Amino acid sequence: MAIEILMPSLSPGMEEGKLAKWLVQEGAEVSAGDIIAEIETDKATLEFEAHQSGVLARLIVPAGTDGVAVGTPLAVMAGDEDGEMEAGPAETPEPHSTSPARQPAAVTASPGRDNAATAEQAAMESANAPRIFMSPLARRLAREAGLDPAGLSGTGPRGRILRADVEAALTPDKHADARPAGGSHAADREDTGPVSSPADDDMVLKVFEEGSFRRVPHDSMRKTIARRLTLAKTTIPHFYLTVNCEIDTLLELRGRLNAAAPIKSAAETSEPAYRISVNDMVVKALASALAAVPNANASWTESEMLIHEHADIAVAVALDGGLITPVVRRAEQKAISVISNEIRELARRARNKELRPEEYQGGTTAVSNLGMYGISEFSAIINPPHGTILAIGEAVQKPVVKNGAIVPATIMRVTLSADHRAVDGALGAQLLAAFRNGIENPLSLLV
């Protein structure tokens, strides 16, 4: 039986990806586990593995095609019992079109051969039938309204359910039947196409003289960042708390710990086993604070509050054209040296687009540090489903009053952004106070 190989969803919220490269040719025999293609998401480049044996009868999407929607057929696999299939001319799908899954996907995807479990899960998700395609906004509105997506009729490309379809189900439009099948209003496309409408683009372009700028098309990372941050700022009621932390004792302890670091191995390298940074100690202090104030380690959902058992802390890593937030899991249980090496390795692999999806998905909170750029203070945007994020500013020497005398001290300003649905002001203040206590009494972080 011929089976369509579909573009899988490799991360929550993923709507499209880039088919970077085919590693096998049309007509080639493929065994289960063979890597047949590479897929680029906004976060990483993943190897695409065949989930079953057969003949790759037809390549539908050419290599290098960007904006391939989840669920779009990429190729056709003929099972061993089918023998050779005649390969017709390949048709390039619309970059933003979405195709419902009609057959089980025949491949899995992973950043390496050791990630078959994650890849297999992605393929199994593609195999679930019937599959309902909805825009993220439409899905959220349907969930909030208690609507069953199976009972909704989609007017988007290939039956995709859009925001207007959910709104029409809640408030029937007498003119709804007059809309052509597959058509949609411009507002319906706000989360499936460009971040701004063509009219908005035209208004912006009119402001500037032709030839005074260059156009840089949005890549998948930029579009994902735009959608997620717009969603975060428009749906999460942020509030902010700022505190000054004196870090002279922390800097002294950091220096002593690094000076005492053993050499990794004389045979391998002369590098120390760890090089602790201020940011590493910030992550540990936040983890300890969440352990001390567990109700602040929360995520909001429409039906209930999620109070997390562990401090899984995402750390913002700047990339060319964007950023990524790999997660340090169970940071409250790890030594600072372990956290330091883990962050360093995650950041290295993030810049090389080698992270596995489970290494940057999830988390319960995040840390964003712009102090190295001389930024004294800023407010970070919460990354849903997190309930908080900590923004770290530059550490500078300032005069402070102690016991009636003016003395110098190194001060670091820290701002907590919190989701007011999950964290009240007093609870956020308790969390920030616990964090400050750990920073100013860093020996407590070693216990």
**Max mean pLDDT range (17-21, 82-86, 131-135, 327-331):** 327-331
Q: How far apart are CA 296 and CA 291, in angstroms?
A: 9
Amino acid identity at 24: V
- pLDDT (average), residues 371-394: 97
Query: pLDDT per residue over 392-421, tens digit each?
Result: 999 999 999 999 999 999 999 999 999 999
Cα dist. 396→243, 283, 291, 437 in Å?
14, 20, 29, 19
What are the CA-CA distances from residue 141 to residues 10, 161, 420 (Å)? 23, 11, 20
Task: Give dist(CA 45, CA 20) in Å, integer.
Answer: 8
Nearest of 140, 178, 417, 432 to residue 301 by alpha carbon = 140
Alpha helix positions (H), 101-214: 116-127, 136-145, 163-170, 198-207
- Which pTM does this prediction carry? 0.64
Residue with tokens 């100013």: 440
What does the pLDDT read at residue 13? 64
Instruction: Report the C-alpha gap between 402 and 392 in whole angstroms.
Output: 24
Question: Cα separation of 306 and 116, whole Å?
Answer: 29
Pair 141, 152: CB distance under 8 Å:
no
Tokens standing for residue 281: 């100690």
* pLDDT average, residue stretch 411-436: 98
Peptide bond preceding 130 in cis form (omega within 30 of 0):
yes
pLDDT score recorded for residue 199: 54
* Residue written as token pair 């586990």: 33
pLDDT of residue 48: 80
- What are the pLDDT digits (tens) for 90-101? 344 444 444 443
pLDDT of residue 161: 81
pLDDT tens digits for 249-290? 999 999 999 999 998 875 666 789 999 999 999 999 999 999
**What pLDDT band is residue 187 in, cutting at 50, 70 and 90?**
very low
Q: How many CB atoms lie within 10 A of CB 309?
A: 10
For residue 246, is pLDDT > 50?
A: yes
With both helix axes pointing from N to C terminus, report the angle between 278-292 and 425-440 in degrees, rounded to the nearest 10.
130
Q: Which residues are catalytic, by number? A: 420
Average pLDDT for the chain: 81
Q: Is the peptide bond before 408 cis (omega within 30 degrees of 0)?
A: no
Position 104 pLDDT exceeds 60: no
Domains of the chain: 2-127 (2.40.50.100), 136-226 (4.10.320.10), 237-446 (3.30.559.10)
| CA gap 30, 28 in Å, rounded | 6
- Terminal Cα distance for the chain, rounded: 61
Q: What's the residue count for the chain?
A: 447
Residue, of 101 and 41, whose pLDDT is higher: 41
The string of pLDDT tens digits covering residues 322-375 is 899 999 999 999 999 999 999 999 999 999 888 888 899 899 999 999 999 999
Of 48-62, 126-140, 152-166, 306-320, minimum mean pLDDT range: 126-140
Instruction: Give the per-residue pLDDT at 306.
Output: 97
Name the β-bridge partners of 307: 298
Tell whether the torsion through CA atoms of 418, 423, 427 and 430 is positive or negative.
negative
